[in-house]
Amino acid sequence: MKKHLLAIIITLIGIALNAQVSIWDGTAEIWTHGSGTQEDPFLIESAQNLAYIAVKTNEYLQNSHENRMMYADTCFLLTVDIDFGADAGMEWEPIGINGTAWGKGRFSGHFDGGGHSFTNLTISNDDADFFGIFGYMEGGSLKNIVVEGNDINISHIYTYGHGPVGLLLGYGIDVTIENCVNIANVHWETINIDTGNCNLGGLFGCLVNSTITNCHNHGDISAPESTIMYNGPKCGGIAGCFNNCVVSDCSNYGHIYFKNGEYFLVNYIYGGGIAGVMTGTITNCSNNGNLYFEGDVSGDPLLKAVGGIIGYTASEFGGSLVVENCYSNCNINVVDDDTEPSWAGGIVGYITDTINVTIQNCYCASSDMLTDYTGGIVGRANDNTAVNNCYYINALTSVNDYGSPKPESEMRTQEFVDLLNDGGDVYAMDLLYVNGGFPIFSRYTGISENESRENISVYPNPAKEYVQIIVSDESCLQSAEIYTLDGRLVETFPETSQQTTIDISGLHAGLYIVKLKMANGKEYEEKIVKK
């Protein structure tokens, strides 16, 4: 993040001592500040302002014979935390409730959450085919949004023809998303999908031709009773489905529990720590959430596939899949109530038809996978699958030769970190034992891309109580300051050593900027997520 961005945001919204919370009362009001440009965005200063976006996007025009792209090239900046008023009976209508019907709108604007949070949510199910705070997007962007609070209970999701379900966004085409986090547990009490697709994700339902960066899920996801007809579920910690997407620097820590209730000709169940189904490119992503899937399948192709990162991939969803610098450290359990086989892989569960798949510099630290067919890296591969420099714990019996087994003790060493890095600097030792001693991702920042960088590690990220800062050369850390994204200084930590631990337990959950001041006068910035 460039240094001058803070000054721009401060100029736009001012500096407040405490974050304000706006509680939605069911009404909508148009915003009164800003012009909608990148330099001067419309300011969303209340829940009523946000509701106005939903009202205008979802407005039905009777004589319209095309899908309306609402707020294209228009910029919005959220300046308050939003309470959706679920405890008072309020039900939120997704922004872009039904983008496939003539006369309905799709949100196409650029929405910056400013690091603020969404809480206390119930999603309305009166007319929606796409479920989330945002329902249907085409073009545009989302960034800097945190969903938090106590458990979010979504009582009943019913749809006849579609079914992408995500807490933040249900369905998106050509969308750019960055710095979005879910911290709340999500409990989908009943999901009834008639003839559509059950795309269920901690943040997103289904994204197509989109770019997703630095998004994280920390909430458990449970769907204990899903009535599905014809098409099966695709479930993931970040998204149910990524079609031809570019995904980087994302992580899942939430456990996923999915169980079929009644069903009719459900022909597959796909689940993954990051995504149930994916094509495209995924790099620097990880999963630490356990995966549990239970349900019967019938019809064709009769397949259950779960992967530590990706559950399933096929050419029907895009041209290829590249998985690079990813790891999983989780338990996988696919319960068999019928006679059909189940597959699991430490990184990818099942690869089908002729799709080209490359997996490299990845590892699986899982030793507990309860399925019929288990692969250390890939459960089932095709002839166009290439696996390079990938490893799994030798206590796991693999059904194929993709990847190399290693003793657990060796996978906790600097030598293993160097092996995975293959000359790069993606992985680092887990000095704080946040990943059971297995390699974690390095977090290095510089004042600019063009200037030579001192190596600085800031981790774990996301973090709940403490953040470790390590400077690996002779330049000492002089101080660390924590800012909100709207420029408010909330904590200062004076320090004169090359290694320090800062306490963030007192901060409100959300996105922050850590500004590091060095003894040589240089300054560095890193975004962190407070759980």
pLDDT digits (tens, 9 = 90+) for 172-187: 999 999 999 998 888 7
- Joined together, the tokens standing for residue 394 give 């030798």
If DSSP codes are grouped into helix, strand and coil, which group holds residue 333? strand
Using pLDDT thresholds of 50, 70 and 90, give the confidence band for residue 196: low
pLDDT in tens, 16-59: 334 689 999 999 999 999 999 999 999 999 999 999 999 999 88
Mean pLDDT of 211-216: 94
Q: What is the pLDDT of residue 239?
A: 95
* Distance in angstroms (rounded) separating the CA atoms of residues 460 and 467: 6
- Look-up: residue for tokens 């999901």? 191
User: 106 by DSSP, 3-state: which?
Assistant: strand
* pLDDT at position 264 over 70: no
> Which pLDDT belongs to residue 421?
95
338 CB-near residues (< 8 Å, 6+ apart): 296, 297, 298
Question: Which listed CATH number (3.30.70, 2.60.120, 2.160.20, 1.10.3470) goes with 146-406?
Answer: 2.160.20
Residue spans in the chain of domains classed CATH 2.160.20: 146-406
Task: Give pLDDT tens digits for 115-139.
Answer: 888 998 888 765 556 778 998 999 9
What is the greatest pairwise CA distance in the chain?
Answer: 69
C-alpha distances in Å from residue 431, one per residue of 35, 377, 413, 472, 493: 48, 25, 11, 14, 21
pLDDT for the residue numbered 115: 86
443-530: which CATH topology?
Immunoglobulin-like (2.60.40)
- Give the model confidence (pLDDT) of 141-165 as tens digits: 999 999 987 666 555 555 544 555 7
Distances (CA, A) of 98 to 45, 207, 215: 26, 16, 25
pLDDT by residue (tens digit) across 375-400? Answer: 999 999 999 999 999 999 998 889 99
- 9 against 100, higher pLDDT: 100
Q: Residue 452 — very low, low, confident or very high, per pLDDT cuts 50/70/90?
A: very low
Q: pLDDT tens-digit profile of 509-522? A: 777 888 888 877 77
Query: Residues 402-423: what's their mean pLDDT?
Result: 96
Residue in this structure with the two tokens 């510089």, named with its chain if needed: 446
Three-state DSSP class for residue 354 = coil
pLDDT at residue 15 tops 50: no
For 412, which DSSP code?
Answer: G
The H or E element spanning position 370 is: strand 369-370
The pLDDT assigned to 464 comes to 80
Tell me, yes or no, if the pTM score tops 0.75.
yes
Average pLDDT on 437-453 reads: 55
pLDDT band for position 12 (50/70/90)?
A: very low
Q: Are 368 and 399 in contact (CB under 8 A)?
A: no
* Confidence tier at 108 by pLDDT (50, 70, 90): very high
User: What percent of the chain clears pLDDT 90, i.e. is strictly above it?
Assistant: 44
The per-residue pLDDT of the chain, averaged, comes to 82
pLDDT at residue 160, as a whole number: 47
For residue 58, the model assigns a pLDDT of: 86
Cis omega (within 30 of 0) for bond into 494: no
Average the pLDDT over each of 7-11, 135-139, 429-433 and give the range with the smallest value: 7-11
